[in-house]
Amino acid sequence: MGGAVSAGEDNDDLIDNLKEAQYIRTERVEQAFRAIDRGDYYLEGYRDNAYKDLAWKHGNIHLSAPCIYSEVMEALKLQPGLSFLNLGSGTGYLSTMVGLILGPFGINHGIELHSDVVEYAKEKLESFIKNSDSFDKFEFCEPAFVVGNCLQIASDSHQYDRIYCGAGVQKDHENYMKILLKVGGILVMPIEDQLTQIMRTGQNTWESKNILAVSFAPLVQPSKNDNGTPDSVGLPPCAVRNLQDLARIYIRRTLRNFINDEMQAKGIPQRAPPKRKRKRVKQRINTYVFVGNQLIPQPLDSEEDEKMEEDSKEEEEKEHIEAMKREEPPQNLLREKIMKLPLPESLKAYLTYFRDK
């Protein structure tokens, strides 16, 4: 499934294409997509395919096409502080983007059938927290993943504000999925070859809307134990943050707000997302001359052509300078502020989430 938009040269180029095709329609979703590089979730040797609008699978590792994730993120209508459950959480790519919107007081849970994929997701999550500058630009709700079949969730599990299922749901499992949803919540899942948005409007009332025609592999049916019944799977607990963690959140938020106020006072604009550059196509005027008995086309350079050549060279030089600037490591102002605080080094490390840069 995919191929709805043109391939991009990099993550920002892909997002530009998704916006142009109206798959990404809100600023909040765009920011989340730009903050998480899709290529980081590919295995080495396969990254060249990361910015194509195509699904990717290698063994148990799977990523849906970018156009699918875009429609899912828009349909979920995410807000800070909500609870989210990802059924078939895979690499954690979607859950990490969701975490950037939910913020520190949301709940972000995922359940995945394959233990090796859960380990892969945890590795990618750790890499994002330790290495990505986006982590310091957002308040983040860290995903928690468990291994299990999403059709075996314990009956006493809590309900969620937002749910996504990343595998095809059979009609007889539709009500099972709906029960996991809070009143007022939104469930997005593929059912009968349609990506469907279901809103729970009351205790026993629902509203459904088809979003997109899709083709997903079906959910794996649960295996039974020696007693002939499936084992139940417990979801992560909804833990309350401790005082130390809350202090870190509010210190980082205060510093981030202070940095933004400083930049506004100095008239420094926030860095705009990069724009996709389109190459100018040079057109030449042809004239025709007789060579023997044949009429041969000959290019005729005009003053306009020469001017286009000069403009093209100037554009190339500007692009080269911009590319050199982009290669410079971005300045992490939040980290700089933290490291200047009159605090013990151990506390500074805690405030930076023990990041090395």
Whichever domain contains 158, its CATH number is 3.40.50.150
Residue 245, SS3 per DSSP? helix
Q: Catalytic residue numbers?
A: 64
Examine residue 26 and state whether it is found in any structural domain, yes or no.
no
Residues 260 and 198 in one domain: no
Residues 232 and 250 in one domain: no
Q: What is the pLDDT of residues 287-320, one digit of tens each?
A: 444 444 454 445 555 555 555 566 666 666 666 5
Residues 247 and 235 in one domain: no
Examine residue 87 and state whether it is found in any structural domain, yes or no.
yes
Instruction: Find the mean pLDDT for residues 211-215.
Output: 93
How far is 90 from 182, CA to CA, in rounded Å? 24
Enclosing domain of residue 162: 65-239
Do residues 67 and 5 make contact, with C-beta atoms less than 8 angstroms apart?
yes
Residues 207 and 105 in one domain: yes
How far is 255 from 351, CA to CA, in rounded Å? 11
Residues 153 and 253 in one domain: no
Q: What is the sign of the dihedral through the CA atoms of 199, 205, 210 and 216?
A: positive
Residues 134 and 253 in one domain: no
For the chain, give percent helix, strand, coil, nearest 5: 40, 20, 40
Instruction: Find the mean pLDDT for residues 99-117.
Output: 97
Q: What's the pLDDT at 290?
A: 45
pLDDT of residue 352 exceeding 70: yes
Q: Which of residues 303 and 165 earns the better pLDDT score? A: 165
Q: Which of 191, 220, 239 is the last residue of a domain?
A: 239
Say what percent of the chain tops pLDDT 90: 71
Residues 185 and 227 in one domain: yes
Q: What's the pLDDT at 15?
A: 96
Query: How many domains does the chain contain in total?
Result: 2
Q: What's the pLDDT at 303?
A: 56
Q: What's the pLDDT at 330?
A: 58
Structure tokens at 356: 């090395």
Examine residue 47 and state whether it is found in any structural domain, yes or no.
no
- Which residues, in sequence order, are bridge partners of residue 108? 84
Mean pLDDT, the chain, integer: 86
Instruction: Find the mean pLDDT for residues 219-238.
Output: 82
Q: How far apart are the first and last CA of the chain?
A: 38
What's the pLDDT band for 21 if we cut at 50, 70, 90?
very high
Residues 228 and 336 in one domain: no
Examine residue 8 and state whether it is found in any structural domain, yes or no.
no
pLDDT of residue 31 exceeding 60: yes
Q: What's the pLDDT at 239?
A: 85
Residues 115 and 150 in one domain: yes
Examine residue 204 and state whether it is found in any structural domain, yes or no.
yes
Q: Is 44 exposed, middle or buried (0-12, 13-18, 19+ CB in 10 A)?
A: exposed
pLDDT of residue 272 exceeding 60: no
- Reported as type and span, the H/E element at residue 20 is helix 11-20
Q: What's the pLDDT at 301?
A: 53
The per-residue DSSP string of 307-356 comes to HHHHHHHHHHHHHHHHHHHHHSPPP-HHHHHHHHSSS-HHHHHHHTTT--
Residues 170 and 155 in one domain: yes
Q: What's the pLDDT at 310?
A: 65
